[in-house]
Structure formats: structure tokens, C-alpha cells
Chain A
């Protein structure tokens, strides 16, 4: 098993996804089959290969420091599930 059930639970926690028991089992199985397949990449010697992070070789793409239009409160909160007095409200935040 490339990826264990504990790994799946850890990853789900990292990704903030609540999984049901059947889902944990299903994903464990599916992720294993995908990762086992992905293991084929190990066959390639890539020690001297530079990774490609960007498909196009651009660099130094920048803009001038000029103020542009901003949203007003109404627009900003247009889709807010819980907007109050111009703020986005969220339930209790625990410290971790």
C-alpha cells in the first residue's frame, strides 16, 4: 500500500475535507491505484533535469504602483453567506 488509511485521513484534514467512513475506504483504494500508476515516473532519471513550473518562459511581469478601482462594501459582500455591517462573519475560531 503506497498510501495508508492514516495517510488519507491526514490528507483529508490538511485539505479540510470531512470524509465519511465509506469515503475514506474508497479514496484509500482509488488513491492507491492512482499513485501506484504514478510510480512509473521513478523509472526516469531526472537528476539533471530542471523542473518546469511555467509553460511559457516569462519573467519580470509587473505593474506600476497606481491605485485602481476597488469594490464598495456591497459588491464585496454580494455573495457572502453571512455578511454583517460590512464584515464577513464566521463562527468560532479555535486557536489551532
Chain B
């Protein structure tokens, strides 16, 4: 991506993912979102004197799972370190994290932008604990005279995933982040609910002259929580850095924060004020020795990841586009696969799922996980169309009825007498009536206006309340008019 005609951009991202284990990383407090302030706390996560951490095994399992899904090497020897700094949301004024021996190393994922594929490297991923939440008395932290701290979130397990500075454009960054979140969602290590802060992004950006080989000075903007703010933030920051460079000055290496309201980045800390974290090995936690047996046990329970799913669905006849849409979210992909087990026509199913099913869910702001229509029920409906019991059009309205009542397709068809009329005898009678009632259209058709038949078909459909089998109607009508 060319910036201001003479620069190119280099970008790396650090992503913090909240792992959805039942309990926090070092204590048995619940990780449930919500909950009244300071009710999911205990001596350990409150940093009370005398409290000690005990590592949650499931956090390690989740970290390994995520690492494998991201093609990482899982370390044979790993440990925790203390990252020391003072802040009110940090209950011990140090964060137990991993410094030089993280659990995952050297992975990556493939993105596709404008048809071009590119591999984005992941340097490392490590486990750490989240901090509490600050609520400020004013609009922003700088306009508040006081703040309030809730430690419910303190100690929630995080996986920090650090990318290589391999991205050179904003679309690449967004593609990477979307892909990363999708893969994580598939592993089910996180609910990936950005709106709840389950995933947060720190973006590192620098510019350099086009063709230069050394990296320019970078800034880091922390705690972005949506793809939209990532995009806007990067657009702003890249333009800002270009202005600075064009003015003949150097970009200041610093940490910045994104101001959503003003749409700008602001200095948070300069390099001089940069924290000296004084990392040292966590004395309260023995190190981890991760034998390959442990890694393999987790590899075996890895779900089918998006790329593999797409390939499989394409083999079943879906287009690449359709496969991508269906596998976008794991829940939808799972729903698709579940339905497919009852109803084998992948292509038809894909059309329905991407079309009416998604429309109904979106209109009602419902997640597919809470869908009132089960996979089995959807399959039954599609089977009725296959058998000719329902026309496609009527099936759509049956689907709506299924959504609002939760009833089976078969039940609704029976109750409302919606079965498609494929009885030739019955149809012929109605066809005769319509022909008799519309001499002009008949004449037009016989005169060569093919479109006139559409009108007649419409009349027949109307007379049968849409239940006539349209294909059969067409066939019989043409026969009569011939």
C-alpha cells in the first residue's frame, strides 16, 4: 500500500484473546461476563497479602489448542514471568505473563486479499492474566477526577498472539485479524465476542520509503476492540506519520491510544516514559514441561478448521464463495453440517441457509445457536420440496411459520392445508376456468406474446392460493392453449 506517494507501510498486530475457561487462570473465580462489580473475586485475584496463584490446567490446554490451530510449535519447556508496573486495574501491580519462554512459537496463517494469497507469520503466543476494569467518573480518563475499579475481570486468562510485521496494507491487516478471530472461534477457546472485549487489538505501524529495507520508526496503538476501529485507526495513523515524515521530522517511537470519538490517535506514553517491566521468573509458579503426548492429545480434539471445511464443502459442489460464506462463523458451519446429515443436497441447502435462514435470523437478531428452527426441521422442509409436496414459494412462508412457532414443516403443512396441488384433474378444472375468464390473454399468447402465459399462470396460482405446482400448471396450460 502506497502512502502519500512515497511511503510503504509495515504493520504487526498483537491480539489479546480472553480464553473461555470456566475459571480464571490462577484462581477458582468464575470468568462469566457481567456480574455485579467485585463479586467474581477472591484473595488471589484481588492481590491480597498472602494469596498465591495456582495454574488452571484448562488454560494451558486452550493455549496449546489455539497454537496448533495457528500452526505454531508448542514449547517443550515454558514458564511464567512477572511483568512489573503500577496501575489501579492491576491488583498486584504486576501481571503474571510469559516473557522469554512462551508456550507457542513460530506459526502463522494464510490470508487472501484481492485474490492474492499471502502468509502472515505469528512470532509467538503466550498466556497471561487480564487486568480489572476501570470506570471513570467523567467522559474519558483525562476528564475524570476519580475512577472506580472492578476486579471481576482481573485474572481472566488471556492468550496474547503476536504477529510478525508481515502486513503491508490495511486490507491485509483486516484480513489477518478476521481470519485469526475466525480460527480462534472455531477452536472454541474464546467466544470471540468483540463487543464484550473478548478480543482486543494492539496495532504497530511504521512507514518507510518505498523500496527501503530497514524498518521505519513504529508507533503502537493499544486496545482497539473492533475491526472498524482498527481500520479507522490505521488510516489515521498512517496519514499522521506521513505528515510527520513529509515535514522532515522523525516519527516519535511511542505508545498511543485511539480516541473513538474524535477519530484520532493520541500519545499515551513516550519511549522515555516507557515501562521498565523488570521481567523475572514467577517464583510462585513452577515451570511447565509439555511432553509431546500432551500436545498430540490436544491435536486429536482440534475441530475441523475453516480452510479444511471450505475444501470439503467445495468438494460437495459449493462454489468457493458459498463455502466461504457458510464457514464464516463456526456456528453456521456446524448448523450446515448438521442439516446436511439429514438432507444431502449441499447446493440447495447452501442457497436456503445463505438466503432465507440467514435473513430470518438477522431480522430477529438471533444467533444461529439459538435458532428456533433446528437442523432436522430445516432438512424436513427441504425434503418436502424435493418430494413435490411444497412449492419453493410456499416453502418460504412455511419457513417463516416454523421460525415463529417452532413447529415442524409437516405439521404446519397439514394444519394449513398447504400441500402443493399436483393433482392434474383438479388443476385442469381450474385451468379451464381461468382460460375462460381471460380470453384476451389467451389470444395474446396465441398471437406470439409469450409473456401472456405468465399472467395466466399467475391467475391459476391465485385461484389455488399459490398451492398449485407451478411446473405442472405451466405444462398443462401450454397443452390446453396449444
30 CB < 8 A contacts A-B: A53-B287, A54-B287, A58-B286, A59-B287, A59-B288, A61-B54, A63-B54, A65-B23, A65-B56, A65-B58, A65-B59, A68-B42, A69-B42, A71-B42, A71-B46, A72-B39, A73-B36, A86-B150, A87-B135, A88-B149, A89-B146, A90-B88, A90-B148, A90-B149, A91-B145, A92-B147, A93-B147, A95-B268, A96-B268, A96-B269
Contact of A62 with B148 in the complex, beta carbons under 8 Å: no
- Please tell me if the beta carbons of A84 and B134 are within 8 angstroms of each other in the complex: no
A16-B278 Cα distance, complex, nearest whole Å: 14
Q: By the criterion CB–CB under 8 Å, are A73 and B145 in contact?
A: no
* A residues adjacent to B (C-beta < 8 A): 14, 16, 53-54, 56, 58-73, 76-77, 84-96
Q: Give the complex CA separation of A16 and B257 in angstroms.
A: 24
Contact of B22 among A67, A70, A71, A89 (CB under 8 A): A67
Among A54, A62, A88, A92, contact of B38 (Cβ-Cβ < 8 Å): A88
Instruction: Please indicate the chain A residues that have their CB under 8 angstroms from the CB of B88 in the complex.
Output: 88, 90, 93
Q: Contact: B22 with A92, CB < 8 Å?
A: no
- Give the distance to chain B from A75, nearest Cβ to Cβ, in Å: 9
Q: How far is the CA of A42 from the CA of B58 in the complex (A)?
A: 43
Sorted from nearest, which 4 A-B pairs have the closest CB atoms? Answer: A68-B28, A87-B148, A65-B58, A58-B286
Taking the closest CB of chain A, its distance from the CB of B188, in whole angstroms, is 14
CA distance in complex: A53, B269 (Å): 32
Rounded to whole Å, the gap between the CB of A32 and the closest CB of chain B is 20
Are B29 and A70 in touch, CB under 8 angstroms? yes
Q: Are A76 and B28 in contact (CB under 8 A)?
A: no
A54's partner among B28, B36, B276, B283 (CB-CB below 8 A) is: B283
| Chain A residues whose CB sits within 8 angstroms of the CB of B144 once the complex forms | 92-93
Contact across chains for B39 and A73 when beta carbons are under 8 A apart:
yes
Q: Please give, as numbers and ranges, the residues of chain B lying within 8 Å of A64 by CB-CB distance.
A: 56-58
Does B249 lie at the interface of the complex (its beta carbon under 8 Å from any beta carbon of A)? no
1/0 per position for B191-203, CB-CB distance to A under 8 A?
0000000000000
Asked if B367 lies at the interface with its beta carbon under 8 angstroms from chain A, I say no
On whether the beta carbons of A70 and B42 are closer than 8 Å, the reply is: yes
Cβ contact within 8 Å between B38 and A76: yes
B190 at the A interface (CB under 8 A): no
Known A-B contacts A70-B30, A76-B41; A90 and B147 likewise in contact (beta carbons under 8 Å):
yes
Question: What's the interface size class on B, roughly?
Answer: 35 or more
In the bound complex, CA of A95 to CA of B148 (Å): 15
Chain A residues with Cβ under 8 A from B58's Cβ? 64-65
**Known contacts A93-B88, A96-B269, A86 near B286 by CB under 8 Å:** no
Known contacts: A70-B42, A95-B257. The answer to whether A62 contacts B145 by CB under 8 A is no
Report B-chain residues with C-beta under 8 Å of the C-beta of A96.
268-269, 273
Of A14, A54, A67, A73, the residue contacting B37 (CB under 8 A) is A73
Residues of chain A contacted by B30 (CB below 8 angstroms): 67, 70
Near A by CB (< 8 A), chain B positions 283-327 give 283, 285-289
- Please measure, in the bound complex, the distance between the C-alpha atom of A87 and the C-alpha atom of B60, giving whole angstroms: 31
Minimal beta-carbon separation of A96 from chain B (angstroms): 5
Please, how many angstroms separate the alpha-carbon atoms of A73 and B148 in the complex? Answer: 14
Partner of A53, one of B54, B55, B257, B281: B281
Per the 8 Å Cβ criterion, residues 38-77 of B in contact with A are: 38-43, 46, 54-60
B364 within 8 A of A: no
Contacts of B146 in A (CB 8 A): 89-92
C-alpha gap A72/B36 in the complex (Å): 10
Q: A87 near B38 (CB under 8 angstroms)? A: yes
Determine the distance from Cα of A89 to Cα of B79 in the docked complex, in whole angstroms.
34
B39 and A70 form a contact (CB under 8 A): yes
List chain B residues, Cβ under 8 A from A92: 144-147
Q: Are A61 and B41 in contact (CB-based, < 8 A)?
A: no
Residues of A within 8 A of B287 (CB): 53-54, 59
Q: What chain A residues lie within 8 Å of B141 (beta carbons)? A: 93, 95
**Bound state CA distance, A71 and B147, in angstroms?**
22
